[in-house]
Chain A
Amino acid sequence: MAAAATVKPTKERLLNVLDDLEVLSRELIEMLALSRSQKLPQPGEDTQILELLVQRDREFQDLMEVAQRQGKVHQEMQQLEKEVEKRDSDIQQLQKQLKEAEHILATAVYQAKEKLKSIERARKGSISSEELIKYAHRISASNAVCAPLNWLPGDPRRPYPTDLEMRSGVLGHMANLPTNGVNGHLPGDALAAGRLPDVLTPHYPWQSSELSAGMLPPHHAGDFGLEPPGHNKENEDDVEAMSTDSSSSSSDSD
């Protein structure tokens, strides 16, 4: 009974006790009225009802006190609920900021990884400056980029790669390819500008072989093929004459 009373909501208990009070008071008044009209005293029954009424009234007052205490607790709970809502909004705000930070950090990490990859690539294909200077000297010494100061037509020292150098280069390895239209000429515009096509640049260790081979445009594959030994002398002279232009630059073939 006590356990059931503690489980029942206070409101329900209050209303039940109030109903009991109403019924008991009505019964008591009716009984008294009846006893007065009939002039027959019924001492036992009305006393019993009166005791029940007093007991229920005391119970009702106790429950009202409990209800008032519960009202105060309810106020405290409302304050706590407001506090919980405030904390929830703070946590959500913080979560939003953390998400933004995560996004920024993820972007930074991605960029850093990309940079590390490029650093690793550069490290694998590293070349010392001394070696670069050595190659620069070799190119210059063979008159591959600039004619000697005292060069005259007929001088075998040429300001561009010689046959031997061409054979030892990438194009020399491509000699087995079809050589349609091979005439030993370089494109006139390239020579006039003092530039050599990329395919004629020396193959250095820091250049990957795939890259060098892939640099040859398809429509120039035959044009820039290795010129056969004993090629047209007249064409060669033309090329020599054009290559002695003092404006030729070696910047692109470095």
Chain B
Amino acid sequence: MAVSQPKQDKEGEECSLLPLVHDIIKCMDKESPDVHQELGKLKAKIQEAREQISAMPGIESSPVEQQQQLATLREQVRTKNQLLQKYKSLCMFDVPKAS
């Protein structure tokens, strides 16, 4: 957990566009010619984020809907397991011993 938290922060920082905007403003303040390059980086970052979002699995539904689907699937697996266990434990072909 202690290891995963910094990683998540890093991922969060990677998603943020503010550092790029900050770099652009700094370049504008300095009147640096790199401002166009920084603007290109921002555009590329936004485009990359769009592609990343399009490729991300499981976000076609809201978290609430997804949790409902997950619960339904778990219930299906549970029901089918119970059904199989029931059929396997029937012992329908055991011949009762004559008393």
Contacts and interface: CB of A to CB of B under 8 A. Distances in A.
B49 interface: yes
A11 B60 CA distance: 6
Interface string A117-129: 0000000000000
A94 interface: yes
Given A18-B53, A29-B24, A6 B64 contact: yes
A16 to B, nearest CB: 11
B96 interface: no
B69 interface: yes
Contact of A80 (B11, B54, B74, B83): B74
B63 to A, nearest CB: 6
Contact of B73 (A29, A53, A80): A80
A165 to B, nearest CB: 52
Nearest to A83: B77
A15 B50 contact: yes
Interface in B45-92: 46, 49-50, 53-54, 56-67, 69-70, 73-74, 76-77, 80-81, 83-84, 87
A66 B67 CA distance: 12
A28 interface: yes
B44 interface: no
Contacts of A25: 17, 21, 42
B77 A74 contact: no
Interface residues on B, range: 35 or more
A76 B70 contact: yes
Interface in A1-42: 6-11, 14-15, 18, 21-22, 25, 28-29, 32-33, 36
A53 B21 contact: yes
A84 B63 CA distance: 22
Contacts of A61: 12, 15-16
Interface of B: 8, 11-12, 15-18, 21, 24-25, 28, 31, 39, 42, 46, 49-50, 53-54, 56-67, 69-70, 73-74, 76-77, 80-81, 83-84, 87
16 contacts: A10-B63, A11-B54, A11-B56, A15-B50, A18-B46, A21-B46, A25-B42, A29-B39, A32-B28, A53-B18, A65-B8, A65-B11, A67-B53, A71-B56, A75-B57, A81-B73
